[in-house]
Chains A and B, each alone.
Chain A
């Protein structure tokens, strides 16, 4: 099983600041990597797939990068509504999937 490790676990950031979240795979997943945002009481919502392609309706301040085993999700200018938990998920052995443990982004 491919294990996904996210860092940091929690991040506290002021509005307007740039935020970078990291995700590492235990073995290569090429670019078969998605990012999800989850707010309390809601299911996850896809932000990025293919490591760097924004899903429909996702604001341009969200961007994804990386390939192989190292990936990042960047929020260029944090907004208050971006307070959430963010998960990476690999699908290199699709339809089998594994998720990371998440990074909680808090607004200062």
Chain B
């Protein structure tokens, strides 16, 4: 059974860098069939796609975040990560990682609340 689980600090100071890792079990991130995505959600709002990474390392980013965002993968550890620089309170959200096929986001992590505050 495929499972994803994110890990990382739950509290980040303004202007610093948010970093999260998504560990995948039950499937290989080296599969050519899927992208691996990061999504975030603030209370009462729809999810926001941050970006996705392919097994080759190719990435696609949300244009509104592209200048601050890096998504990468570590095949040896079967995980992928997100880094968001220069964070503000507006980046406070629940962050999810997910497997992305051509048609759907079919497996999601439970979600991790990251708060930006001094």
Contacts and interface: CB of A to CB of B under 8 A. Distances in A.
- A pairs with B: yes
Interface of A: 1, 4, 34, 36, 42-46, 49-50, 53, 55, 87, 89, 91, 94-102
Given A87-B46, A96-B62, A101-B45, A46 B106 contact: yes
User: Helix, strand, loop or mixed for chain A's interface?
Assistant: loop
A44 B49 contact: no
B104 A44 contact: no
Nearest to B61: A96
Nearest to A47: B104
Contacts, number: 56
B110 A91 contact: no
Interface residues of B, number: 24
Contacts of A34: 103-105
Contact of A95 (B45, B60, B111): B60
Contact of B49 (A36, A99, A102): A99
A55 B106 CA distance: 9
B41 to A, nearest CB: 8
B106 A87 contact: no
Contacts of B105: 34, 36, 44, 46, 89, 97
